[in-house]
């Protein structure tokens, strides 16, 4: 996941991905990047972030078709069910971020507070702000993947011709 970076308050752009990483075994916070290079100014992510100014949660999310490279599923390919699970977790993360619902599997993060309502999003933002190692995670170059220049992702014409039949429109 690629996000922007508010230099004055860097934790605000990192809370949503941090929550998602705690919910989903398919999402790794350490793989996120929160940088904005000059070459990315024209991307939708950066343009929206600069235009809206008050919305820290503008991201580019990538997925893998090749497989997972960390954790208990390292080396395995993603299945349709796996993609549906992460989609569900993306939606659940919105509920947690907006402090509408905290699922049972995340209640351990704030200890036993009884029935007291806890703002998990604010708590994680404070954790990020006070943990320089976690806060710096993802700083730097965000030039890979779908945020890259389109020409970097294109296959050479010769390779495309091998897999896509060329149809003569004159016939």
pLDDT the model gives residue 23? 92
pLDDT the model gives residue 142? 54
Would residue 168 count as lying in a domain?
no
Per-residue pLDDT of the chain (171 residues; tens, 9 = 90+): 999 888 888 899 999 999 999 999 889 898 899 887 777 777 888 888 888 878 889 898 888 777 788 788 888 888 899 999 999 999 999 999 998 888 888 877 766 555 667 788 888 888 898 988 888 887 765 555 444 444 444 556 666 666 666 666 665
Number of domains within the chain: 1
Would residue 170 count as lying in a domain?
no
pLDDT the model gives residue 150? 45
Would residue 158 count as lying in a domain?
yes
The boundaries of the domain holding residue 147 are: 2-163
What is residue 77's DSSP assignment? P
Q: How far is the C-alpha of 18 from the C-alpha of 143, rounded, in Å?
A: 21
Return the active site residues. 62
Would residue 13 count as lying in a domain?
yes
pLDDT the model gives residue 74? 85
pTM for the whole structure: 0.75
8 Å CB contact between 34 and 14:
yes
CA distances from 135 to 138, 140, 153, 157 (A): 8, 12, 30, 42
8 Å CB contact between 55 and 111:
no
Would residue 50 count as lying in a domain?
yes
Would residue 44 count as lying in a domain?
yes
Would residue 85 count as lying in a domain?
yes
pLDDT the model gives residue 70? 79
pLDDT the model gives residue 77? 87
Would residue 137 count as lying in a domain?
yes
Q: How far is the C-alpha of 84 from the C-alpha of 30, rounded, in Å?
A: 22
pLDDT the model gives residue 95? 92
The 3-class secondary structure across the chain, one letter per residue, is CEECCCCCCHHHHCHHHHHHHHHCCCCCHHHCEECCCHHHCCCHHHHHHHHHCCCCCCCECCCCCCCCCCHHHCCCCCCHHHHHHHHHHHHHHHHHHCCCCCCHHHHHHHCCCCCCCCCHHHHHHHHHHHCHHHHHCCCCCCCCHHHCCHHHHCCCHHHHHHHCCCCCCCC
């Amino acid at each position: 996941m690629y996000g922007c970076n508010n230099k004055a308050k860097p934790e605000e752009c990192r809370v949503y991905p941090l929550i998602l990483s705690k919910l989903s075994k398919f999402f790794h916070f350490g793989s996120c990047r929160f940088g904005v290079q000059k070459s990315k100014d024209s991307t939708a992510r950066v343009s929206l972030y600069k235009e809206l100014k008050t919305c820290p949660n503008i991201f580019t999310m990538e997925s893998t078709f090749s497989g997972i490279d960390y954790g208990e599923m390292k080396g395995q390919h993603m299945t349709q069910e796996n993609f549906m699970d992460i989609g569900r977790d993306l939606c659940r993360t919105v509920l947690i971020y907006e402090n509408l619902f905290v699922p049972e599997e995340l209640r351990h993060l704030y200890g036993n507070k009884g029935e007291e309502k806890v703002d998990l999003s604010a708590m994680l933002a404070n954790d990020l702000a006070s943990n320089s190692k976690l806060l710096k995670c993802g700083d730097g170059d965000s030039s890979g993947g779908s945020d890259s220049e389109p020409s970097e992702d294109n296959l050479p014409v010769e390779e495309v011709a091998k897999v896509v039949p060329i149809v003569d429109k004159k016939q």
